[in-house]
């Protein structure tokens, strides 16, 4: 409320000026004209009067009440707790001052104002008088000085008119009296201004001019400096404020310029100097000591920014050195882990997962993302995605191996023997080994390593000892073309059979030349011409008949024609001009692998190029490791193996699949990379297969409604038989019944196999392996049947029969008892005798037995003796000790003797 004229007030309240004038009078205020001012106090008085006159009594007091209720739990004397409501009431009273009192106060304030105005006027008067007096005094002094300074003229009575005024206070009243000036005691010579000569005047004027000019320059300099200082200060302030905004600071601190004057300028100069020193040392933001401080500062900055404080922290300033963003070319393989990707972009994995989340992908650091997603993400982060093939690292390794190869030489041919069941494949392999491998070299025991090589007059020939098209195709399915020549065995008395045809197809598909071995020529029913005839229907025509297929008539039993067959093989090899580099890093193919107690994973490999040596770093399939030892097929340690030579290696951490290619690498990091990649790829493929299976089954179920599955869990002794069985089982599926191998592997049947079979309602099949004790117990408890086989076709036939529903009663073995061999004694009289403990069932003297080593069948035969305390007995029961000897086989401590009998069972698969 400011002072207003009567007219203004009238306009404000919407009344006439005369009405307002009347109201003012009524309110006891002095009468006013229209343009007279009404003070604030008067306006208040008027409002109070008007309110009273309208009967509006002002509220003297205002009471504010508030109530809150809450519940509290209290424990009563009885110990029981109960809830009570607590009500808190609060009252606040505001009292308004009395208007009369207010009026009094107003009047007092008015009075005080008047008094203070009077006092101010009086003071002003006094000040003016004092000023006048001091001026008079100054004038007098000046006059006196002039008089005394070089003036010949004596002071005259001019000074007499100078009087002194003094302020005399009498009885509280202040009066000003003017007294005639007292005559100074000492006569002061009054100076009369000297009359200037023209030269003097000129000089004075010049001096004055010069002085004025200097003054002007000085003023100008000061002004410019002040302006510059102000400008710089403003600039610094703006820059500092810039720190709290997103804008980049543009100003630079220049050392050569002086800064603003004064305290602020000094402070700024000092702090900038400190900043420059810190930047120079590189410690302004990164020093470890400063990190904590920096954090706090950052927090403060954020806080300040929130509070809208921008430039008030003159002492908190910093200069961020602008860092140019580095754009990386990020190589992305078909699948890449989040952590890997982050590392390639030099960012934290957390940032990548965050961005992925924004893109709608939930992934952890260890998760793998596909190439497309990774490329998008890399672009999003401002880098260049460079998609690369997954096999790039593999290819690089391969290239590196190839580069190191040299000294190309003729290499021995690698031969696979194929043919129909029982046509004599194994017999032929055995016969060749028997006749061509010197007994001394063999050392008495021939190891089964999946391959062996023989020396003939025409050179070395390597045979893959994994007969059958299943093994052949299993290897081929992995891209391993290990075989150079296929020897097709056809029994002369049986002729071309279904698997003969299959073998021809397989060999043709692989582009491998065939040599036919017409076997069993010693047999009376042998009819080689019939065989030749039948083969022509498959376009396999003998050279004798104008074709190009060499055919040897042989007998695996007598050895007849075997040399001729070997001759044919050598000739074929010569024709094929098989060559391989002898020097350099080795590469080849895994023939078989198995786990052996005490030796770990044992892997049979066939070297195709280069020379494999002990100590080499080998990458085979998904595994890599240093070759600890090399042994040949005779169990002899060797230092190296050249092209086409099979050898057994120790040192890999796990068993790679048969057919996997192996390489010798120098870079362990790359080996690991490739191994990891292959593991992932294998896992993904398996997942895909499983998913497809699920989908497939769903479709089948939906479409057919009556489809059924035969689930199988399969364990075998070696990889070769596993691959062969899997391939054979795969082909058994029909429209009505699908064979589904839920799980398969090499080694004894374990507890987890039983659990899996139980949960998936699968048949548990063991090929030349047994269930271990815990697995057996679990299977017994679940009333599950584990089926053991030693012959591939036996297993396949059973599965086939089960599928076709022709489950006729079968004869199969039932295990009657198991004894653990604890110790082996040798005596000249009895030979080797084994001290045993019967751990299951009963051991019978006259029933067939099997010897198990590491739960794998190593011998089938009969007992030679069974004794208890030197007495021959017919049976020994569980928990009893016994001594026994196996006919034709030397058992070892740790072996198990399993007694079985052939029983008739109703088929239940
Ligand atoms: N008389 C005679 N019998 C032979 C000859 N070759 C093999 N046999 C017999 O034929 C049977 C089958 O021989 P294998 O060598 O096991 O035949 P396979 O082709 O290896 O059989 P699978 O391994 O079951 O595929 C055996 O009983 C052999 O003794 C031969 O040249 N003459």
**What pLDDT does 136 receive?**
81
Q: Is 5 annotated as contributing to ligand binding?
A: no
**What pLDDT does 327 receive?**
86
Q: How many angstroms is it from 477 CA to the middle of ligand 1?
A: 28
Q: How many angstroms is it from 464 CA to the middle of ligand 1?
A: 17
Residue, of 89 and 6, whose pLDDT is higher: 6
Residue 564 has pLDDT above 90, yes or no: yes
Q: Is 423 in the pocket of ligand 1 (CB under 6 A)?
A: yes
Q: Is 522 in the pocket of ligand 1 (CB under 6 A)?
A: yes
Q: Is 173 annotated as contributing to ligand binding?
A: no
Residue, of 427 and 141, whose pLDDT is higher: 427
Q: Is 521 annotated as contributing to ligand binding?
A: yes
Residue 275 has pLDDT above 50, yes or no: yes
In terms of residues, how long is the chain? Answer: 909
As a whole number, mean pLDDT of residues 383-408 equals 76
Q: Which CATH number fits domain 704-806: 3.90.550.10, 3.30.1220.10, 3.30.70.260, 3.40.50.10050?
A: 3.40.50.10050
As a whole number, mean pLDDT of residues 497-518 equals 84
Q: Which two tokens mark 693?
A: 């299976």
* pTM across the whole model: 0.44
Q: Which two tokens mark 372?
A: 């497309």
Residue 153 has pLDDT above 50, yes or no: no
Q: How many angstroms is it from 432 CA to the middle of ligand 1?
A: 14
Q: Is 424 annotated as contributing to ligand binding?
A: yes
Q: Is 790 in the pocket of ligand 1 (CB under 6 A)?
A: no
Q: Is 523 in the pocket of ligand 1 (CB under 6 A)?
A: yes
Q: Is 419 annotated as contributing to ligand binding?
A: yes
Window from 247-251, 262-266, 444-448, 465-469 with minimum mean pLDDT: 247-251
Of 111-125, 297-311, 400-414, highest mean pLDDT = 111-125
Ligand 1 atom nearest to 489, measured from its CA: 19
As a whole number, mean pLDDT of residues 583-587 equals 86
Confidence of residue 536 (pLDDT cuts 50, 70, 90): very high
**What pLDDT does 455 receive?**
85
Residue 869 has pLDDT above 80, yes or no: yes
As a whole number, mean pLDDT of residues 636-661 equals 89
Cα-based angle 68, 73, 77 (whole degrees, multiple of 5): 130
Residue, of 458 and 600, whose pLDDT is higher: 600
Window from 170-179, 220-229, 862-871 with minimum mean pLDDT: 170-179
Asked whether the beta carbons of 71 and 88 are under 8 A apart, the reply is: no
Residue, of 267 and 156, whose pLDDT is higher: 267
Confidence of residue 498 (pLDDT cuts 50, 70, 90): confident
Where are the domains positioned within the chain?
4-54, 329-388, 391-406+581-703, 412-577, 704-806, 810-905
Q: Is 426 in the pocket of ligand 1 (CB under 6 A)?
A: yes
**What pLDDT does 516 receive?**
95
As a whole number, mean pLDDT of residues 420-425 equals 87
Residue 292 has pLDDT above 50, yes or no: no
Q: Is 794 in the pocket of ligand 1 (CB under 6 A)?
A: no
Cα–Cα distance for residue pair 407/412, rounded to 1 Å: 15
Q: How many angstroms is it from 437 CA to the middle of ligand 1?
A: 20
Helix (H, G, I), strand (E, B) or coil at 533: helix
Q: How many angstroms is it from 417 CA to the middle of ligand 1?
A: 13
Taking only the tens place, the pLDDT of each residue in 807-822 is 444 556 678 899 999 9
Window from 246-250, 634-638, 856-860, 879-883 with minimum mean pLDDT: 246-250
Among 823, 826, 871, 818, which Cα is nearest to 847's?
Answer: 818
Q: Which two tokens mark 852?
A: 């198990």
CATH topology of domain 810-905: Elongation Factor Tu (Ef-tu); domain 3 (2.40.30)
Task: Return the CATH class of domain 329-388.
Answer: mainly alpha
CATH topology of domain 412-577: Rossmann fold (3.40.50)
Counting ligand 1 atoms within 8 A of each CB, the residue from 427, 429, 468, 522 with the most, and so the one to mutate, is: 427
> Which residues partner with 580 through β-bridges?
409
One DSSP character per residue, 626-683 reads E--EEE-TTS-EESEE-TT-EEEEE--SS-PPTT-EEEEES-HHHHHHHHHHHHHHHH
Indicate the average pLDDT of the chain: 75
- Region class of 737: left (phi > 0), else alpha (psi between -120 and 50), else beta: beta
Whether 412-577 and 391-406+581-703 are alike in CATH topology: the answer is no
CATH topology of domain 391-406+581-703: Elongation Factor Tu (Ef-tu); domain 3 (2.40.30)
**What pLDDT does 98 receive?**
66
- How do beta strands 849-853 and 896-905 pair? antiparallel
Q: Is 422 in the pocket of ligand 1 (CB under 6 A)?
A: yes
**What pLDDT does 857 receive?**
86
Q: Is 522 annotated as contributing to ligand binding?
A: yes
Residue 173 has pLDDT above 50, yes or no: no
Residue, of 595 and 687, whose pLDDT is higher: 595
Taking only the tens place, the pLDDT of each residue in 739-779 is 888 778 888 888 878 877 776 677 889 998 988 888 888 88
Residue 543 has pLDDT above 50, yes or no: yes
What are the backbone dihedrals phi and psi of residue 328, each rounded to the nearest 5 degrees, phi first?
-95, 150
């Amino acid at each position: 409320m400011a002072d207003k004229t009567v007219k203004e007030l009238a306009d404000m309240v919407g009344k006439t000026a005369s009405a307002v004038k009347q109201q003012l009078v009524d309110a006891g205020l002095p009468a006013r004209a229209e343009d007279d001012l009404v003070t604030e106090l008067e306006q208040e008085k008027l409002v109070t009067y008007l309110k009273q006159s309208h009967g509006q009594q002002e509220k003297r007091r205002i009471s504010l009440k508030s109530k809150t209720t809450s519940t509290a739990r209290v424990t009563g004397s009885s110990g029981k707790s109960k809830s009570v409501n607590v009500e808190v009431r609060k009252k606040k009273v505001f009292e308004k001052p009395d208007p009369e009192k207010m009026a009094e106060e107003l009047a007092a304030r008015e009075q005080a104002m008047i008094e203070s105005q009077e006092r101010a006027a009086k003071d002003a008067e006094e000040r003016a008088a004092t000023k006048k007096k001091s001026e008079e005094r100054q004038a007098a002094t000046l006059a006196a000085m002039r008089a005394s300074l070089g003036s010949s003229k004596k002071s005259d009575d001019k000074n007499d008119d100078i009087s002194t005024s003094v302020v005399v206070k009498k009885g509280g009243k202040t009066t000003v009296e003017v007294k005639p000036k007292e005559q100074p005691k000492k006569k002061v010579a009054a100076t009369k201004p000297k009359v200037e000569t023209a030269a003097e005047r000129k000089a004075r004027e010049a001096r004055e001019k010069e002085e004025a000019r200097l003054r002007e320059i000085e003023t100008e300099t000061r002004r410019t400096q002040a302006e510059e200082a102000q400008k710089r200060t403003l600039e610094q302030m703006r820059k500092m404020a810039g720190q709290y905004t997103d804008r980049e600071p543009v100003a630079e601190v220049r050392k050569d310029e002086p800064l603003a004057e004064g305290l602020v300028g000094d402070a700024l100069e000092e702090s900038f100097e400190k900043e420059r020193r810190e930047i120079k040392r590189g410690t302004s933001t990164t020093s470890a000591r400063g990190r904590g401080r920096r954090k706090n500062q950052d927090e403060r900055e954020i806080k300040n920014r929130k509070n809208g404080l921008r430039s008030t922290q003159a002492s908190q300033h910093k200069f961020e050195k602008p860092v140019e963003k580095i754009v990386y070319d990020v190589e992305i393989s078909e699948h890449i882990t989040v952590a890997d990707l982050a590392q390639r972009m030099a960012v934290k994995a957390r940032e990548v997962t965050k961005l992925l989340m924004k893109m709608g992908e939930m992934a952890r650091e260890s998760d793998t993302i596909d190439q497309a997603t990774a490329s998008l993400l890399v672009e999003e982060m401002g880098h260049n995605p460079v998609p690369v093939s997954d096999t790039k690292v593999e290819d690089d390794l391969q290239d590196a191996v190839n580069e190191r190869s040299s000294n190309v030489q003729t290499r021995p041919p690698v031969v696979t023997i194929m043919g129909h069941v029982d046509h004599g494949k194994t017999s032929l392999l055995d016969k060749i080994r028997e006749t061509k491998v010197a007994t001394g070299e063999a050392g008495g025991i021939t190891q089964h390593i999946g391959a062996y090589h023989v020396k003939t007059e025409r050179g070395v020939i390597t045979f893959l000892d994994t007969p059958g098209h299943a093994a052949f195709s299993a290897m081929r399915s992995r891209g391993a073309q290990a075989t150079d020549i296929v020897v097709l065995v056809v029994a002369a008395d049986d002729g071309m059979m279904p698997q003969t045809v299959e073998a021809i197809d397989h060999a043709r598909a692989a582009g491998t030349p065939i040599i036919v071995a017409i076997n069993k020529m010693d047999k009376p029913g042998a009819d080689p011409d019939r065989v030749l005839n039948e083969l022509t229907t498959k376009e396999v025509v003998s050279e004798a008949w104008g074709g190009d297929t060499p055919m040897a008539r042989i007998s695996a039993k007598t050895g007849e024609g075997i040399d001729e067959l070997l001759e044919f093989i050598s000739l074929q090899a010569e024709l094929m001009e098989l060559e391989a580099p002898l020097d350099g890093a080795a590469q080849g193919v895994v023939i078989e692998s198995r786990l052996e107690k005490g030796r770990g994973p044992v892997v049979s490999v066939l070297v195709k190029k280069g020379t494999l040596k002990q100590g080499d770093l080998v990458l085979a399939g998904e595994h890599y490791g240093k070759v600890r030892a090399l042994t040949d097929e005779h169990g002899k340690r060797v230092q190296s193996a050249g092209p086409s030579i099979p050898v057994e290696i120790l040192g890999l951490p796990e068993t790679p699949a048969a057919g996997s290619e192996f390489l010798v690498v120098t870079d362990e990091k790359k080996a690991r990379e490739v191994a990891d990649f292959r593991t992932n790829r294998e896992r993904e493929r398996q997942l895909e297969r499983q998913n497809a299976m699920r989908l497939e089954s769903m479709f089948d179920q939906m479409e057919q409604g009556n489809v059924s599955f035969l689930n199988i869990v399969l364990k075998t002794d070696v990889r070769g038989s596993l691959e062969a069985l899997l391939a054979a089982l795969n082909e058994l599926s029909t429209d009505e019944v699908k064979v589904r191998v839920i799980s398969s592997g090499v080694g004894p049947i374990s507890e987890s196999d039983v659990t899996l079979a139980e949960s998936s309602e699968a048949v548990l099949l063991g090929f030349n392996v047994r269930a271990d004790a815990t697995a057996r117990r679990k299977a017994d408890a679940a009333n599950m049947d584990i089926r053991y086989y030693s012959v591939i076709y036996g297993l396949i036939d059973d599965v086939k029969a089960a599928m076709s529903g022709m489950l006729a009663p079968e004869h199969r073995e039932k295990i009657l008892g198991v004894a653990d061999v604890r110790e082996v004694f040798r005596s000249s009289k009895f030979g080797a005798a084994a001290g045993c403990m019967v751990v299951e069932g009963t051991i019978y003297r006259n029933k067939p037995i099997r010897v198990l080593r590491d739960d794998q069948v190593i011998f089938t035969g009969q007992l030679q003796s069974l004794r208890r305390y030197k007495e021959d007995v017919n049976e020994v029961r569980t928990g009893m000790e016994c001594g026994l000897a196996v006919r034709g086989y030397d058992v070892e401590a740790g072996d198990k003797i399993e007694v079985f009998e052939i029983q008739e069972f109703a088929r239940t698969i």
